[in-house]
Structure 1
Amino acid sequence: MPWWSWVLIWVALGACALLVLVLGAVFIVRKGLRTMEAFGTELERVMPSSRALDPDDGGLAPSAGPAPGSAVFADPAQVRREYAEGREERRLARRDRRVQRRALRGQPQSLADLGLD
Structure 2
Amino acid sequence: RTSLIQKESLIVLWALFAFDTGDVSEIEQIMHDLNRKRKEKQPLQYGSAGSTFKRPEGYFAGKLIEDAGLKGYRVGDMMVSEKHCGFVVNVGEGTYDEARQVIEHVQKTVQERFGVWLETEVKFIE
User: What's the TM-score once normalised by structure 2's chain length?
Assistant: 0.29
The structure carrying a bigger helix percent of its residues is 1
> Which structure is higher in RCO with an 8 Å CA cutoff and minimum separation 6?
2
Q: Which has the larger radius of gyration?
A: 1
The structure carrying a bigger strand percent of its residues is 2
User: What's the TM-score once normalised by structure 1's chain length?
Assistant: 0.31
